[in-house]
Amino acid sequence: MKAKLMNQVLLAMSQTLGSQQIERLKDVLEVTFKNVEFIEKTESSNETDLEMVSTFLSAKRVEGCSDKSMRYYESTLKNALNKIGKGVKNISTDDLRKYLDNYQKVSGASKVTVDNIRRILSSFFSWLEEEFYIIKSPVRRIHKVKTGKVVKETYSDEALELMRDSCENPRDLALIDILASTGMRVGELVKLNRSDIDFQNRECIVTGKGNKQRIVYFDARTKIHLQNYLRGRTDSDNALFVTLLAPHKRLQISGVEIRLRQIGRALNMTKVHPHKFRRTLATMAIDKGMPIEQVQHLLGHQSLDTTLQYAMVNQSNVKMSHHKFIG
């Protein structure tokens, strides 16, 4: 315990003192603590760690993280600290590597999930370093988990038209159109109110992740179908989309997902999901030459890398370019 504390002091001062000064400090510490015994208080370490986690979560909340993200951060950190079984200040790089490796083996989690856990741990320990709780983050030397690139599907023009034609009511038609033309998140969609829609300029203000607002735009077809849907409404709810059955309450995320799956099953289409409309819009926009920075703003992405992951290269265009430039 004594040697460990002395090493921590020497490590902390190594950035400030020269090699000769470090050696002198080492001699002073050895003489000073020669007849001193240290007893580690383990019973309160867990409580202190939980307090650190709580303070970190408060910092993330101030930054604008959503409640869903906060719950994920909290459960991930508490599970990791519990499994590792050490105080935060004593956790090493090897401890974290073993934890991530064991987590993947036991749970069978994908590499994407493991990398998400790594990123949360990195955020936590980097914050501890910035706040001077620890000297150096042990996650620094744990690199991003390499994940295989999966080409995710988008909707074809034919698939979008089939879904529109199969709609049995004005609400579902307006729902598909606004998702397809704006690329907004389903969580943003269900928060929309009638008053958020500017029909004259064919735009609306959505509230995205971290309560950040942005303007998204819709096409003329969406405008017409949305107006038809709203004119036929008999309820007084301010929500843009409501349930079909009385008492016509605000439509929730699960309601949108269930309805789209039902439409997909009726058409024998697989993986009909609201997020797929978003990916389709991003791919189409880039395919038609929209600058990637504008697509990023349109989708409300903080990082350009996220936008690039959404945008899939149209394979037919690759084939045409091959014939054009290579033969």
Q: What is the pLDDT of residues 182-212, one digit of tens each?
A: 999 999 999 999 999 999 999 999 998 878 8
Instruction: Decide if 146 is inside a domain.
Output: no
Residues of the chain with pLDDT under 50: 43-45
Domains held by the chain: number = 3
Instruction: Decide if 77 is inside a domain.
Output: yes
Instruction: Tell me what pLDDT residue 44 has.
Output: 45
- Longest distance between any two alpha carbons in the chain, whole Å: 87
Instruction: Decide if 96 is inside a domain.
Output: yes
In this structure, the answer to whether residues 67 and 110 fall within a common structural domain is yes
Contacts 24+ apart (CB under 8 A), 54-60: 56/124, 56/127, 56/128, 59/127, 60/123
Cis peptide, bond prior to residue 170, ω within 30 of zero: no
Query: Looking at residue 70, which CATH number applies to its domain?
Result: 1.10.150
Instruction: Decide if 204 is inside a domain.
Output: yes
In this structure, the answer to whether residues 68 and 9 fall within a common structural domain is no
Query: Tens digit of pLDDT for each residue in 14-73?
Result: 778 888 888 888 888 888 877 777 666 554 445 588 899 999 999 988 887 778 888 999
Which secondary structure element, helix H or strand E, spans residue 197, and what is its range?
strand 197-198
Instruction: Decide if 187 is inside a domain.
Output: yes
Neighbours of 114 (CB within 10 A): 17
Instruction: Tell me what pLDDT residue 21 has.
Output: 86
Catalytic residues: 185, 209, 275, 278, 301, 310
Query: Looking at residue 282, which CATH number applies to its domain?
Result: 1.10.443.10
Tokens of 311: 């945008």
In this structure, the answer to whether residues 186 and 298 fall within a common structural domain is yes
In this structure, the answer to whether residues 67 and 200 fall within a common structural domain is no
In this structure, the answer to whether residues 16 and 125 fall within a common structural domain is no
In this structure, the answer to whether residues 81 and 12 fall within a common structural domain is no
Q: What's the domain range around 118? A: 45-130
In this structure, the answer to whether residues 62 and 86 fall within a common structural domain is yes
In this structure, the answer to whether residues 206 and 301 fall within a common structural domain is yes
In this structure, the answer to whether residues 312 and 184 fall within a common structural domain is yes
Residue by residue, DSSP assigns 120-166 as: HHHHHHHHHHHTTSSSS-TTTTSPPPP----------HHHHHHHHHH
In this structure, the answer to whether residues 170 and 293 fall within a common structural domain is yes
In this structure, the answer to whether residues 15 and 49 fall within a common structural domain is no
Q: What distance in Å separates the CA atoms of residue 84 and residue 88, rounded to the nearest whole number?
A: 9
Instruction: Decide if 38 is inside a domain.
Output: no
3-state secondary structure of 51: helix
Beta pairing partners, 250: 242
Tokens of 115: 């990398």
Question: In whole angstroms, what separates CA 107 from the centre of its chain?
Answer: 21
In this structure, the answer to whether residues 193 and 246 fall within a common structural domain is yes
Instruction: Tell me what pLDDT residue 96 has.
Output: 95
Instruction: Decide if 265 is inside a domain.
Output: yes
Q: What distance in Å separates the CA atoms of residue 184 and residue 215, rounded to the nearest whole number?
A: 10
Contact 22, 14 (CB under 8 A): yes
Q: What distance in Å separates the CA atoms of residue 176 and residue 225, rounded to the nearest whole number?
A: 10
Instruction: Tell me what pLDDT residue 314 has.
Output: 56
pTM of the model: 0.64
Instruction: Decide if 19 is inside a domain.
Output: yes
Question: In whole angstroms, what separates CA 225 from the centre of its chain?
Answer: 32
- How far are the Cα atoms of 73, 163, 179 from residue 261, in angstroms, in the given order? 30, 11, 15
Instruction: Tell me what pLDDT residue 43 has.
Output: 44
